[in-house]
Amino acid sequence: MSITYSTLSWSDAGSLSAFSPKIVPFCIPMNQFLNPNSSSSSCFGFSASLQGSSRVQLDSRLVLSKRSKALPFIVRSDHPQNADAPKQYSKREKKPFPVPIVDLRRAARERVKNNKDKPKRPLPPPKNGMVVKSLVPLAYKVYNARIRLINNLHRLMKVVRVNACGWCNEIHVGPYGHPFKSCKGPSASQRKGHHEWTNSVLEDVIVPLEAYHLYDRLGKRIRHDERFTIPRVPAVVELCIQGGVEIPEFPTKRRRKPIIRIGKSEFVDADETELPAPEPHLPPEPLLTELPPSEITPPSSEEETVSLAEETLQAWEEMRAGAKKLMRMYRVRVCGYCPEVHVGPTGHKAQNCGAFKHQQRNGQHGWQSAVLDDLIPQRYVWHVPDVNGPPMQRELRSFYGQAPAVVEICAQAGAEVPEQYRATMRLEVGIPSSVQEAEMVV
């Protein structure tokens, strides 16, 4: 007994014209290959028959049966056991758009089509120049959460060791630096990728990301010759100021009437002379201030350390969650080539981008919509499974997890790790005690 196989010839193209251009899977039972004279059978809604010994023809008749409706069994979990840290893009690689350009254009066409022959609706705040009153208390909470985070980290870093490389921007939380050869600083090839660990400061844990302070967020864009005359503040603080936080050092324009739009980019302010003088009102909650260096003291006991770590982690989550809600209403722009951030509807015109191939753009930034990690970057570090245990081994690198530096500091201080970080920290993954044991892992 012999079985002959062949592919579809060009004469069969007519029989395939009834199908869509997508590839449709089909199967033919083995008994038809063994017995060509048997009747045709169906699978996945299609019928297949054999003519002669080598020709296969497809019939477009749909055959529905209960047996052809079997679905694959898929196991899904919102919190996986093992996950990798977010990808770190190189300096020669542009950040991806949060929403693809094709989807943005499609949504714009749908918006124009739906609004055709309809009267124009008034712009909602903050597009009309006014503050979103419901988000003012949230802006104060985000501002105070940032101050609490800074003050608590100053105290925790006196009892939790944070090492910083003297040649690159990598840090490590633990009594000793990690042994991995990942240094990319100057003369890294001479040191064979080894780090030289030194003491760290708070700016190594929280990335100092600044943005231009806008007196009027709807005003003209910042020109290149104005880049040194306009003050720069932390990007999160500028977002809170535009959200309604009043800081005397950084005044901002508050409108009490919506603007009058003349054109797409032209408007005039409404007349507010007939309005009564604004009454001074108390903020939803008093603003906190950073502690001076003389008042920064380490926690006195282990219970105080654990409580301080829990409060620090809560402030970190409160700041990120609140900033994410504010970014939905107050637009934040980021350069696709460098970490520059601008809080406002359009980016500034300062030609200070020094990223890859900035000469082709004349130093101008490639502005795009920002995500939360662009405004509050998370500096990932290696998670130490046991601070008091044996040091980390270079050969077991694939078994170790990673976590944001703030979360790792709080975890080593005794705080409970939130659920969303357990996968990247690989807390549920067993770590071999030696290389020989790792080689036995299947």
8-36: pLDDT as tens digits: 444 444 444 443 444 444 444 444 444 44
Contact, 388 vs 135, CB < 8 A? no
Burial of 261 (0-12, 13-18, 19+ CB in 10 A): middle
**Could you read off the pLDDT of 319-329 as tens digits, one per residue?**
999 999 999 99
Q: What is the mean pLDDT of residues 99-109?
A: 93
Stated pTM of the model: 0.79
The pLDDT assigned to 9 comes to 40
End-to-end alpha-carbon separation of the chain, Å? 42
**Could you read off the pLDDT of 146-171 as tens digits, one per residue?**
999 999 999 999 999 999 999 999 99
| Structure-derived torsion over alpha carbons of residues 387, 390, 392, 398, reported in degrees to the nearest 10 | -100
**For residue 374, what are its two tokens?**
């662009």
Q: What is the mean pLDDT of residues 400-406?
A: 94
28, 91, 427 from 76: Cα distances, Å: 32, 35, 19
The pLDDT assigned to 275 comes to 86
The pLDDT assigned to 51 comes to 45
The pLDDT assigned to 54 comes to 44
Burial of 173 (0-12, 13-18, 19+ CB in 10 A): buried
The pLDDT assigned to 403 comes to 95
Q: For residues 175 and 4, what is the distance between their CA atoms, to the nearest angstrom? A: 69
Q: Which of 83-87, 172-176, 412-416 has the lowest mean pLDDT?
A: 83-87
The pLDDT assigned to 102 comes to 94
Residue with tokens 């405004």: 375
What is the residue-averaged pLDDT of the chain? 84
**Could you read off the pLDDT of 328-371 as tens digits, one per residue?**
999 999 999 999 999 999 999 999 999 998 999 999 999 999 99
Give the whole-number percent of the chain exceeding pLDDT 70: 82
Residue with tokens 């940032």: 146
Edge-first strand order for the sheet with 162-165 is 171-173, 162-165, 197-199
Tell me the pLDDT band of 72, cut-offs 50, 70 and 90. Answer: low
Burial of 414 (0-12, 13-18, 19+ CB in 10 A): middle
Tell me the pLDDT band of 291, cut-offs 50, 70 and 90. Answer: very high
Give the whole-number percent of the chain exceeding pLDDT 90: 61
Q: Please say whether the dihedral angle defined by the alpha carbons of residues 418, 423, 429 and 433, taken in this order, is positive or negative.
A: negative
246 pLDDT exceeds 80? yes
Q: Which of 16-25, 251-260, 273-282, 299-308 has the lowest mean pLDDT?
A: 16-25
Tell me the pLDDT band of 2, cut-offs 50, 70 and 90. Answer: very low
The phi and psi torsions of 302 (rounded to 5 degrees) equal -70, -35
The pLDDT assigned to 284 comes to 87
**For residue 391, what are its two tokens?**
């040091």
**Could you read off the pLDDT of 36-62 as tens digits, one per residue?**
444 444 444 444 444 444 444 444 444
Query: If you compute the radius of gyration of the chain from its CA atoms, what whole number of angstroms results?
Result: 31
Q: Please say whether the dihedral angle defined by the alpha carbons of residues 257, 261, 265 and 267, taken in this order, is positive or negative.
A: negative
75 pLDDT exceeds 80? no
The pLDDT assigned to 43 comes to 43
Tell me the pLDDT band of 433, cut-offs 50, 70 and 90. Answer: confident
DSSP symbols for 288-309: P-PPPGGG----SSHHHHHHHH
